[in-house]
Amino acid sequence: MVKLIARSGKKEHKVVSEKEWLTARKRFLVKEKKFTRLRDQLNVERRKLPWAKVEKEYVFEGPDGKESLGDLFGRKRQLIVQHFMFGPGWGEGCPHCSFWADHWDAALVHLAARDTALVVVSRAPFKEIKPFKKRMGWRFKWVSSFGSEFNFDYHVSFTPEEIRSGKLFYNYRITRMKIDEREGFSVFYKDPNGDVFHTYSTYERGLDLMNTAYNLLDLTAKGRDEDPEHTQDWVRYHDRYQRKG
C-alpha cells in the first residue's frame, strides 16, 4: 500500500504487480470505450438540436470598433462565444473564467482550420477589458457587450430586479442566486445569406469539457484534488500563483 497525500487527506492506495495492473487497466478500458461511444453519440445528438434564428441586433465594442454579432464570425461560418464574467467597474475579470481563457490562444489556429472563430464577450466596457487583457498577455479577440441586451438574453447577466428577487434563470432553470454575472458558452452559425443562428449554449459543469487542464488533471492519481464545497478556491490568475493567498 502507498500513502496518497491529497487535499482530502492521506489515503492508502493498493499497489500490485505489473501483470495485475494490466488486468485491472484492461477491465477499466472497457468502460472508457463505452463512455467514448456514448460521448460520440451525444455529440451527434447535439448537432441535431434545432436552431433559433437570432433576430435581435446586438452591438459589441472591441479592438475593431463597433461590430455586430455577425461581424464577430470574421470569415468563418461558426462562432464560439465564451461568456466571461467581467462586470462594469470590476477592475479585473473573473479568475475562474480566466482559467478557461488561458487555453484559447493556442487553440485559435486549429479552430480556424475548421471554419470556427472564438470570441470572448463580457459586459464590462471595452476600456476596462483592454488593460486586464494586456496584463494577462492574451491575444484572442475580446469584446464588450456593454449597452446591449446580449448577456441578458443569453442568461449570463441579470438585472437589479432579478437580483433583488433572488430568482434567476440560469442553466435552464430558476435558481436562487444574488449575483449579477455568471459564466457560460454559446455557439452560433452564420449561413451564406448572413443570417445568424443560435445552435447551443452550456453553463456550470457543461464548461468542464472546454478546460484542457482539468481534463489532464482527471488522468492523475490525485485528480483535481479540490475541496468539494469550494471546488475552485485554489485557482489564481496565471500571474498570481507565486503570491501568497
pTM metric for this prediction: 0.93
Q: Quick one: pLDDT band at residue 6, thresholds 50, 70, 90?
A: low
Taking residues 75-85, report their average pLDDT. Answer: 99
The position carrying cell 434545432 is: 50
Sign for the CA dihedral angle at 7, 177, 204, 152 comes to negative
CATH superfamily of 56-209: Glutaredoxin (3.40.30.10)
Taking residues 27-48, report their average pLDDT. Answer: 98
- 145 exposure class (CB count in 10 Å sphere: 0-12, 13-18, 19+): buried
> What is the helix (H) or strand (E) element at residue 162, kind and residue range?
helix 160-165
Identify whether the C-beta of residue 69 lies closer than 8 Å to the C-beta of residue 196: yes
- The predicted structure's pLDDT at residue 167: 87
CA geometry: angle 163, 166, 167, nearest 5 deg = 100
- The predicted structure's pLDDT at residue 114: 99
Indicate the domain borders of the chain.
Answer: 2-47, 56-209
Question: How many other C-beta atoms lie within 10 A of the C-beta of residue 122?
Answer: 30
Tell me the C-alpha distance between 175 and 213, whole Å.
29
pLDDT tens profile 133-184? 999 999 999 999 999 999 999 999 999 999 999 889 999 999 988 899 999 9
197 grid coordinates = 443562428
DSSP class of 10:
E
